[in-house]
Amino acid sequence: MDSADNTKWSLSRVLLLLLFTVFAAFAVFPLLTLTIASFKPAQELMRFGLNLKLSPEIFSFRNYTYLFSGESLYLTWYKNSLIITAVYTVLCLLLSSMVGYALAVYNFRFRNVIFALVLITMMVPLEIIMLPLYKLAIGLKLINSMWGVILPFVVAPLPIFFFRQYASGLPKDFLDAARVDGTTEFGTYFRIMMPLMAPAFSSMAILQALFSWNNFLWPLIVLRTTEQLTIPIGLATLLTPYGNNFDMLISGAVMAIVPILIVFLFFQRYFIEGMTAGGVKG
C-alpha cells in the first residue's frame, strides 16, 4: 500500500509539474518574443511580425542605443514614471495602512459605516468619477503635474481593505503592552505594529507599484506636455496615423518591464505570505 501510495504521489507531482511548466511557458512566451523583437529592425517586424526566429545577422543594439540617446524623450518619460511610482507607492502604503490599521484596532463611532464606504468605493469604476476628479484637479491647479497623477489615488480602497484584514489578525497583546509602557499611539504603530505587517506591506508594494507604473487613463487626462508624460503614454504616442516607431516602441516596452520585475524580486519573499494572511484573517 505504501509503495502504491508513493507511486501515485510521485505521478501526481510529475503531472502537476508538467501542468505548471505549460502555464509558465504561456506566461514567458510573450515576454521572450518581445525581447527578441527588440533586437530586430522595424522592417523585419513589419515583414514577419513578432516571432521567436533567431537571426544573428540582423541582431543589433541600435534600438537601445537610440532609446537612451538624446534624440528621444524616453529617458524623460522613464524618470517621470519612476518618480511618480516611487512617491505614490510610499504615500499609498503609509496612509492606506494607517487607515486600515485604525479600522481594525480602534473602536469608534461609525467605524463599520466607514469600512462599508471603503468597500463600496472599490466597486466604483474610474470612468464614473473621472469628470469630478478632473474638475477637482483643475480647481487645485494639479493639471500637468505629477501630484495631479498621485494625489487622487494616494489613499486607495484596496490597500485599506487589505491592511484592515491583516491588522485584524495581529495579536493585541503587543498593543496593550505598548500602552502600559507609555508609548504613544503613533509610536506603537511605527515601532511595533508596522514591522508585524511587513508581509502586507510587501504584497501591497508590488500591487500598487504595478498599478502606478501601468496607469494610463488618468495620467493621459491630467498630463499635457510631452516632457511630463509617463512611459505608457509616451510609448502610445509612437503609434500615429502618420507612422509607427516600432524600433523605439518594442525596445521601450522591454525596458519598461525592468522596474516592476525588480520590485517583485525584492518583495517576493513576503508576497505569498502577505496575500494569504490578508485573505483569511479578520
For the chain, list the domains and their CATH numbers.
Answer: 72-280 (1.10.3720.10)
Q: Over pLDDT 70: what percentage of the chain? A: 91
**pLDDT of 153-206, one tens digit each?**
999 999 999 999 888 888 888 788 888 888 888 888 888 888 888 888 988 998
Percentages helix, strand, coil for the chain (3-state, rounded to 5) are 75, 0, 25
Rounded Cα distance, 204 and 213, in Å: 14
Mean pLDDT of the chain: 84
- Name the residue with higher pLDDT: 263 or 279: 263
* Mean pLDDT score, 49-74: 78
**pLDDT of 29-46, one tens digit each?**
888 888 888 888 877 777
- Neighbouring C-beta atoms of residue 240, cutoff 10 Å: 9
**pLDDT of 213-268, one tens digit each?**
999 999 999 998 989 999 999 988 887 766 677 778 888 888 998 888 888 887 77
* Mean pLDDT score, 88-105: 93
What would you report as the CA-atom Rg of the chain, rounded to the nearest whole angstrom? 24
* Mean pLDDT score, 10-20: 84
pLDDT of residue 271: 64
pTM assigned to the model: 0.83
Rounded Cα distance, 35 and 33, in Å: 5
239, 187 contact by CB (below 8 A): no
- Neighbouring C-beta atoms of residue 11, cutoff 10 Å: 10
